[in-house]
Structure 1
Amino acid sequence: MLTPDLNALEGLDLYGDGNLPLTDCQGHRLAVECAAQFIRMQTAAAGDGVEIAICSSFRDFDRQLSIWNAKASGRRQVLDEASRPIDIQSLDDNQLLDAILLWSALPGMSRHHWGTDLDLFDAKNIDRQSLQLIDSEYHPGGPCHKLHTWLASHAADFGFYFPYQAGLSGVSPEPWHLSYYPLADKYLAAFDSDKLKARLELAAIELKGPILTRLEALVSRYVYFVAPSPNGPVKQILKK
């Protein structure tokens, strides 16, 4: 079990302004330790015929805000649990809020703000332009099924796991989303809802009223309710 030194995290922004220590990794921004472990994992997977590629990693508050506002205003599709488009005109504000949260985090509540989380695909079987990040791509018969099976068996060896799993998270299961838990667990423990509220109060965000009214419950469900991470030390392999 990790015992985070919360004092060491004082002053770090966990809500998307980008002052966490990040590095470039194949054109994406990641926490330094996360990037190193990802490359080791990628090398190991390549030996088994899986070409791990990053679709998305760090996103700042403004980027997450643009995604949120586009969905809330109808400029970007909102999907149901089966990845089918929803007619948002039939929804009231709270229903729309809940529908967006099935697949998209509120700005300030995304684990992608931490540089510890990645969306991955198998570049050997599908290109980035064709990728939709939907369940069927990672299920049997999908182009990323071999990737998902490999990650389920080996990701924990490098400190990664799936935080969004059926019945174990507020967010819908995401078989493409990995989290580097030695850092992410520390950041989660240091998360401060009051700081998030202050950030959102100043933001030009759609659905602000219901968001602020329900914020405590939303943080509980969509920030803290994630699948438990594996315990024990990270196996430092492929260092040579």
Structure 2
Amino acid sequence: MLVAKPKLTQPHLYGCDASALVPYQTTLLHPDALIAYEQMKHSIQADGLDIDICSGYRSFDKQLAIWNAKASGQRVLLDKHSKPVDIKTLNQTEIVDTILIWSALPGTSRHHWGTDIDVFDPRKISRDNLQLVSAEYQHSGPCHELYSWLKSNAFKFGFYFPFQQGKSGVSPEEWHLSYFPVAQQYTEDFCSDTLLTLLTPIEIHLKQDVLPRLNALVQHYVKYVARPNQ
């Protein structure tokens, strides 16, 4: 059972309060991001393509469950090439670093904000068959045409790709869009000291390795992101 989380001054930054978000399909989005997304979707469809969201808002508790499942070996760890890694061959620091290739530390996910979405082309692949790997968005992949459109046009609606090769701590994610006008302010407001207050009392796997490195992890995985037009 999780220990009750302390009250935070800006709980929405850490996935602890979604009251300001609005429902859209099966997820929640920031109101400004939703307006921009619907405008973008209309433009995409006018060009004969389509887009859908497979993941939007994710709570702190949901991210914690993902983290603990991966840290305990209940969910498969993947390397930067999306290949399975044997957790038994890794020490604790290596496990943390391997999880962080594709999954955020609880409290640090941009999906906590309602500004970030994972998208796909529903004409070419179903949500159930989607794996969210680069091959699906690269040449000959089912979402390549959509990805190409987004690279050329998403900025017109305030969206961009925050995770890019050599420009972010997180591995490149061709499916992950961020609504920059709000997300950038949230990135600046994010505080590692507040995150430490949140993580210290709860049952999170590998805590003894994570907490001493927390400032560095926040700098690399939260603060270090690409900017539009890079």
1:176 maps to what in 2? 175
Aligned partner of 1:5 in structure 2 is: none
Matched residue pairs, number?
Answer: 222
The one-letter code sitting in structure 2 at the alignment partner of 1:60 is S
Structure 2 residue aligned with 1:222: 221
- Is structure 2 residue 63 aligned with structure 1 residue 64? yes
What is the distance in 1 between the residues matched to 2:74 and 2:194?
29
**Structure 2 counterparts to residues 186-201 of structure 1, below 5 A:** 186-201=185-200
Q: Which residue of 2 aligns with 1:213?
A: 212
Task: Name 1:45's counterpart in structure 2.
Answer: 44
Post-superposition Cα deviations, 1:6-32, rounded to whole Å, max 9, x if no partner, equal xxxx64531111245100112210000
Q: Which shows bigger deviation, 23-32 or 91-100?
A: 23-32
Residue 125 of structure 1 aligns with which residue?
124
CA RMSD of aligned residues (A): 1.3
Structure 1 range deviating more: 152-161 or 39-48? 39-48
Matches within 5 A, 1:71-220: 71-220=70-219
Which secondary structure does the structure 2 equivalent of 1:118 belong to?
Answer: strand
* Superposed displacement of residue 47, structure 1: 1.5
Give 1:49 shift: 2.2
Question: Quick check: 1:35 aligned with 2:34?
Answer: yes
Distance across 1 between alignment mates of 2:215 and 2:27: 31
* Aligned AA (2:181): P
Structure 1 residue 228: Cα displacement: 1.6
Distance 1:184 1:80 in 2: 27
Aligned 8 A contact 2:120 2:175 in 1: yes
TM-score, normalising length: structure 2: 0.94
TM-score w.r.t. structure 1 length? 0.90
- Equivalent pair of 1:168/1:225 in contact (CA under 8 Å): yes
Unaligned 5+ segments in structure 2 are 1-8
Asked if the contact 1:57/1:112 (under 8 Å) is kept, the reply is yes
The whole-number CA distance in structure 1 between the counterparts of 2:193 and 2:146 is 38
Percent same amino acid among aligned pairs? 50
Q: Structure 1 CA distance, aligned partners of 2:75 and 2:17?
A: 25
